[in-house]
């Protein structure tokens, strides 16, 4: 039996990239997955179709994040979808993956507020709205970023927003642990997604990135999905309040080649 059979999961930003990889992995492990998307309905439907083609269960749900009422809109839609398919609105796994990684580069107040609305405010209130639907053994997993410990030019506001998720996880874990609910943060490094596609047309840049890692390759969405799948599983029931680096060991210092 798959580890997540009978479980229901919501993955935000699941129409592509890391989010899609996570949705596909959780479904492969037996979960019914709500595939959230903001605007690209076609990509979300492709994710659902890919999951169903391999025997999994999923449905797409749309909600724009970073706007008033976003958490209510999304959680209400997911609850309705779950009741339709399972007869209950119980949600076992919440993965906060959706995020803006551009838009604050010019440091305008409007762009800064928009980035934090999507990357910080939305996960915060999604968790608050989802907690009443979770029972013993619930899992909350936030997708952070390796830039919280690595200085990257032009990523200051983004780094700040991702650091907030790690703080959220540590504090909230202490509040919900008595219910058997865990919360952890996964921090990917460079992963092959639309955002990093430019890298693969520049071999020197790719070598510079991978050469700084203990594991000298660019990550794949499946690498991050595997970590999330463990944190979503029963095996992780005593693991909470952690920030897990999933960057292939980036910038660990000089390598001993002797």
Q: What digits encode the pLDDT tens for the residues 11-44?
A: 999 999 999 999 999 999 999 999 999 999 999 9
Which has the closest alpha carbon to 51: 20, 78, 74? 20
Residue with token string 């605007």: 39
- What tokens appear for 188 in the block? 């990917």
- Please report whether residue 40 resides in a domain: yes
- Please report whether residue 70 resides in a domain: yes
**CATH number assigned to the domain comprising residue 25:** 3.40.50.720
- Please report whether residue 34 resides in a domain: yes
Distances 27 to 41, 187, 191, 224 between C-alpha atoms, Å: 19, 22, 21, 15
**How many CA atoms, within 13 angstroms, populate the side-chain half-sphere of residue 33?**
37
Would you state the pLDDT for residue 228? Answer: 98
Residue 102 has pLDDT above 70, yes or no: no
Residues 175-228: tens digit of each pLDDT: 999 999 999 999 998 898 777 666 677 788 788 888 888 999 989 999 999 999
The residue with greater pLDDT, 90 or 209, is 90
Residues above pLDDT 90, as percent of the chain: 78
CA-based Rg of the chain, rounded to a whole angstrom?
18
Distances 93 to 82, 107, 120, 222 between C-alpha atoms, Å: 13, 34, 18, 18
Residue 81, SS3 per DSSP: helix
Averaged pLDDT for residues 234-238: 97
Would you state the pLDDT for residue 258? Answer: 58
- 251 is a catalytic site residue: no
Catalytic member of 37, 124, 158, 251: 158
Would you state the pLDDT for residue 197? Answer: 66
The band of 101, judged by pLDDT with boundaries at 50, 70 and 90, is confident
Q: What is the mean pLDDT of the chain?
A: 93
> Are 141 and 166 contacting, i.e. CB atoms less than 8 angstroms apart?
no
- Please report whether residue 255 resides in a domain: no
Lowest mean pLDDT among 151-155, 180-184, 242-246: 151-155
- Please report whether residue 175 resides in a domain: yes
- Please report whether residue 251 resides in a domain: no
Would you state the pLDDT for residue 107? Answer: 73
- What tokens appear for 172 in the block? 């909230």
Number of domains in the chain: 1
Domain of residue 182 covers: 8-246
Residue 1 has pLDDT above 60, yes or no: no
Backbone φ and ψ of 195, nearest 5°:
-65, -35
- Please report whether residue 103 resides in a domain: yes
- Please report whether residue 148 resides in a domain: yes
């Amino acid at each position: 039996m798959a580890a997540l059979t009978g479980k229901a999961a919501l993955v935000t930003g699941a129409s592509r990239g890391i989010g899609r990889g996570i949705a596909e992995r959780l479904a492969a492990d037996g979960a019914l997955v709500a595939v959230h998307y903001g605007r690209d309905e076609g990509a979300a439907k492709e994710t659902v179709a890919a999951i169903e083609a391999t025997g999994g269960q999923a449905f797409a749900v749309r909600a724009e994040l970073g706007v008033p009422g976003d958490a209510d809109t999304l959680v209400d839609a997911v609850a309705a979808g779950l009741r339709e398919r399972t007869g209950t609105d119980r949600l076992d796994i919440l993965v906060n993956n959706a995020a803006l990684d551009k838009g604050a580069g010019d440091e305008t107040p409007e762009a800064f507020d928009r980035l934090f609305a999507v990357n910080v405010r939305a996960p915060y209130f999604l968790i608050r709205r989802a907690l009443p639907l979770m029972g013993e053994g619930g899992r909350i997993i936030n997708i952070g970023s390796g830039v919280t410990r690595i200085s990257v030019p032009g990523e200051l506001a983004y780094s700040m927003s991702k650091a907030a998720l790690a703080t959220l996880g540590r504090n909230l874990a202490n509040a919900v642990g008595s219910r058997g609910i865990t919360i952890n943060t996964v921090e990917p490094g460079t992963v092959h997604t639309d955002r990093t596609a430019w890298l693969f047309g520049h071999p020197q840049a790719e070598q510079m990135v991978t050469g700084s890692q203990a594991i000298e390759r660019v990550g794949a969405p499946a690498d991050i999905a595997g970590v999330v799948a463990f944190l979503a599983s029963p095996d992780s029931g005593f693991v909470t309040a952690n920030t897990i680096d999933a960057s292939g060991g980036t910038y660990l210092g000089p390598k001993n080649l002797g």
